[in-house]
Structure 1
Amino acid sequence: MDSIGIIGAMELEISLLLKNMSFDKEEKHAGFKFYLGKIFNTDVVVTCCNVGKVNAAACTQILIDKYNVKSIINTGIAGGIHSDVKVCDVVISSDVAHHDVRKEQMETLFPYRTSFKSDENLVKTAVCACEFIGVKDWNHHVGRIVSGECFVSDRGLKQKIVNEFSPHCVEMEGAAIGHVAHINNVPFVIIRSISDNADDSANETYNNYESVAAIQSANIVLNMIKLMKDM
């Protein structure tokens, strides 16, 4: 199969994609559902990995092994970290990193790197998709996305992550997806719409913008597929 793999952590993050999809079949492996079909006449496998890096890594490996996808797009929401990134802005990954694993460990143990670089063509396509939408209410940014096994809602932890990694946003799956994609030589990109500022008010802001941000990120992925089809 020569499909695009699309991963969201929550059903909300893939609901718009499923609405625009013509289904061939649905399969289940290790508790994960995989939806096979077409979006804009392009073969896709859409899946929900659930929250957290371990879930994301396991789901990604199944997507690669079982469906032999040619590329992976991860869609979802995140907490803004960079001062230029506002709620409802979009961050496209230049690279991804684990903020809760020591850099020394990543450097000295397999796969011997502290971050994983996104595919340049997928990044360019994501940028074009944002520009194609042409909405003036939000900006798009290309920058580092970091992941860890916690929801960041504390200014102290946020500042620690900023000092160590200089990311644009923080979430809980992207680095695991990029890590697994990298060791399998599969191109990837992470798309994140900002639901909160990863600070002391994060829980309240997240609740207000979760749905808006999730739909916005999925809409960018839909436009990416349109552009990739025409290339």
Structure 2
Amino acid sequence: MQRIGIIGAMNIEVELLLGNIELQRKEKIAGFVFYVGKLYGKDVVITSCGIGKVNAASCTQVLIDRFGIDGIINTGIAGGLHKDVEVCDIVISSNVTHHDVRKKQMKNWFPHQEYFEGDRELIEAAEKAFENSDVITSSYHLGRIVSGECFVDDTKLKEQIIKGYSPHCVEMEGSAIGHVSHINDVPFVVIRSISDKADGKATISYEKFEKITAQNSATIVMNMMKIL
């Protein structure tokens, strides 16, 4: 892969990466700021897309169209859903999908996919990056990541999502990034560090672990640049 696009939703999710980039230039397009440069010798374009699937999809398409991206990494934080996923753990996407779009709609209408597969090369690089990192966490998990247009902090909604999709974690951008990457035939992976358990205590946990988990995920991405 000649040039990697790295997307976080919020500035906190990319600030560690921006602190290490050899910056060549900045471009502002459609309200998004793109930082073009090198990270450990790898050509990268780093951006934050804002919260939510529409923002994420828009930013991803601009990234692909304007910068000739060969692969995309989405970094950030998420709410844990799987019973084995603990706060500060890392989840690497085997695949992604929308938890707020009907499966029938996904399958029967464009793009005729119930979910979008993460790229094997990027997944393997993320796994190796975890093994070579010193992030504040106990383990990583390879599994499904789901996204929707809401912050999940309700136990009933959490249970519905688990029952319908069997995911490892939930957030608000990854499936849109995977969706746009898929229709453009661009390899992708989503990497998330768990800030909360997507339950009634989610907001308190999120506020406590937001910075730690954002840096955890970004650290994995930085280590991936040494491997790819």
**TM-score, normalised by the number of residues in structure 2:** 0.98
| Distance in 2 separating the partners of 1:27 and 1:112 | 34
| Distance in 2 separating the partners of 1:48 and 1:22 | 17
| Distance in 1 separating the partners of 2:136 and 2:180 | 35
| Distance in 2 separating the partners of 1:2 and 1:144 | 27
CA separation of 1:136 and 1:213: change in aligned 2, threshold 3 A? closer
Alignment of 1:75-86 (within 5 A): 75-86=75-86
Question: Which amino acid in the other structure matches residue 91 of structure 1?
Answer: V
Gaps of 5+ in 2: none
> Could you tell me whether the CA contact under 8 Å between 1:2 and 1:68 is conserved in 2?
no
| Distance in 2 separating the partners of 1:108 and 1:153 | 31
Deviation of 1:137 (Å): 3.9
CA separation of 1:215 and 1:137: change in aligned 2, threshold 3 A? closer
Deviation of 1:134 (Å): 5.3
Identity %: 57
Give the 4+ runs in structure 1 shifted more than 2 A: 134-137
Question: Does 2:101 correspond to 1:72?
Answer: no
2:62 corresponds in structure 1 to 62
1:185 corresponds in structure 2 to 185
Find the residue that maps to 1:61 and give its secondary structure. Answer: helix
Find the residue that maps to 2:100 and give its secondary structure. Answer: coil
Query: How many residues are matched?
Result: 228
| Distance in 2 separating the partners of 1:167 and 1:107 | 18
| Distance in 1 separating the partners of 2:135 and 2:89 | 11
CA separation of 1:137 and 1:55: change in aligned 2, threshold 3 A? closer
Once the two structures are superposed, residues 68-105 of structure 1 have per-residue CA deviations (whole angstroms, 9 ceiling, x without a partner) of 10100000000000000000000000000000000011
Alignment of 1:143-154 (within 5 A): 143-154=143-154
1:131 corresponds in structure 2 to 131
Gaps of 5+ in 1: none
